[in-house]
């Protein structure tokens, strides 16, 4: 495992060079959070204390943290894999004594760590200091970090799957954009899942995307969950981690047979 942690440290050091990227990411996310505050404030201005079972405070914390988590999980994994396929450098992963999926996991972990320090923490501090939201403080604070870690593994596997698709067409722009849109919409990151119509809500519950944003965020802001609910959600996330990991393993064995390097 030491060799994989070395990859994480290397990526962390390289990314710290691009300081302006962090500045623009922080500013962009903070502006989005401010827009969310006034947008949903206007929606709740009619006097309704709750809409679809959620107060304004819960919706604001839910969506502002969803945006922050999106920035946290933005590792551009599929873009990197696409570039390596185009350049031909992907072949180096096939001759190294490392597993490609594990290599990319620890590589993306470097991005996550630097995003946490430079974007996530400042955003959370602004939410807490400026808006002073109320949220349940209890055992949910123990389950939330664990749920967030599992959400990262799920998101990594989704990104890695899209990256493997690049073995077939070498381009990722359309697929990556479609992936981001689908995940953000069906995970509840744009609109909380409790606002979805009944049929769509049922469908979403059978997909892995809601385990990326809705489960950890619901764990943090909901007053209606008990320890059995938290445990059930953690188990559900674990199941999706295992399923997606196995799917990627099987898909990689097939995709690696079609990848071409410099016409070879």
Q: Looking at residue 5, what is its pLDDT?
A: 63
* 140 is a domain residue: yes
Residues of the chain with pLDDT under 70: 1-5, 7-22, 170, 260-264
Q: Looking at residue 135, what is its pLDDT?
A: 81
Q: Looking at residue 237, what is its pLDDT?
A: 97
Cβ–Cβ under 8 Å, residues 159 and 75: yes
* 262 is a domain residue: no
pTM above 0.85, yes or no: yes
* 107 is a domain residue: yes
Q: For residues 117 and 262, give the distance between their C-alpha atoms in angstroms, rounded to a whole number.
A: 39
Model confidence pLDDT, tens digit, residues 65-90: 999 999 899 888 888 888 888 887 88
Q: Looking at residue 216, what is its pLDDT?
A: 95
Cβ–Cβ under 8 Å, residues 154 and 212: yes
CB atoms within 10 A of CB 191: 15
Q: Looking at residue 29, what is its pLDDT?
A: 85
3-state secondary structure the chain: CHHHHHHHHHHHHHHCCCHHHHHHHHHHHHHHHHHHHHHHHHHHHHCCCEECCEEHHHHHHHHHHHHHHHHHCCCCHHHHHHHHHHHCCCHHHHHCCCCHHHHHHHHHHHHHHHHHHHHHHHHHHHHHHHHCCCCCCCCHHHHHHHHHHHHHHHHHHHHHHHHHHHHHHCCCHHHHHHHHHHHHHHCCCCCCHHHCCHHHHHHHCCCCHHHCCHHHHHHHHCCCCCHHHHHHHHHHHHHHHHHHHHHHHHHHHHHCCCCCCCCC
* 261 is a domain residue: no
Task: Collapse the DSSP code of 54 into the 3-class scheme (helix H, G, I; strand E, B; otherwise coil) and give the result.
Answer: strand
Domain that holds residue 122: 2-255
Q: 217-220 long-range CB contacts below 8 Å, 24 or more apart?
A: 217/62, 217/65, 217/66, 217/69, 217/188, 218/62, 219/140, 219/143, 219/144, 219/147, 220/61, 220/62, 220/65, 220/135, 220/136, 220/140, 220/141, 220/144
Q: Looking at residue 264, what is its pLDDT?
A: 46
- Overall domain count for the chain: 1
* 264 is a domain residue: no
* 211 is a domain residue: yes
Q: For residues 166 and 83, give the distance between their C-alpha atoms in angstroms, rounded to a whole number.
A: 9
Tell me whether residue 68 is exposed, middle or buried, using C-beta atoms within 10 angstroms of its C-beta: 0 to 12, 13 to 18, 19 or more: buried
Helices (H) and strands (E) in the chain, counts: 12, 2
Closest CA to 139 of 17, 210, 223: 223
Cβ–Cβ under 8 Å, residues 22 and 16: no
């Amino acid at each position: 495992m030491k060799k994989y942690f070395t990859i994480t440290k290397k990526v962390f050091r390289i990314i710290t060079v691009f300081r302006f990227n962090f500045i623009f990411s922080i500013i962009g996310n903070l502006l989005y959070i401010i827009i969310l505050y006034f947008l949903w404030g206007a929606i709740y201005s009619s006097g309704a204390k709750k809409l679809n079972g959620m107060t304004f405070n819960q919706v604001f914390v839910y969506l502002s943290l969803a945006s922050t988590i999106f920035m946290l999980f933005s590792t551009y994994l599929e873009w990197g894999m696409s570039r390596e396929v185009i350049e031909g450098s992907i072949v180096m992963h096939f001759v190294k004594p490392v597993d490609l999926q594990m290599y990319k996991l620890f590589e993306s972990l470097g991005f996550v760590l630097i995003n946490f320090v430079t974007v996530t923490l400042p955003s959370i501090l602004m939410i807490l200091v400026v808006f002073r939201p109320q949220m349940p403080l209890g055992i949910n604070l123990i389950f939330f970090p664990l749920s967030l870690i599992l959400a990262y593994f799920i998101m990594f596997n989704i990104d890695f799957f899209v990256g493997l698709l690049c073995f077939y067409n070498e381009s990722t722009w359309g697929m990556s954009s479609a992936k981001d849109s689908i995940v953000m919409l069906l995970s509840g990151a744009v609109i909380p899942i409790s606002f979805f119509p009944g049929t769509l809500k049922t469908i979403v519950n059978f997909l892995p995307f809601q385990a990326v944003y809705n489960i950890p965020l619901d764990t943090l802001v909901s007053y209606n969950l008990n320890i059995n609910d938290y445990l059930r959600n953690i188990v559900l996330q674990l199941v999706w981690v295992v399923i997606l990991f196995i799917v990627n393993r099987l898909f990689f064995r097939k995709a690696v047979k079609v990848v071409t390097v410099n016409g070879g």
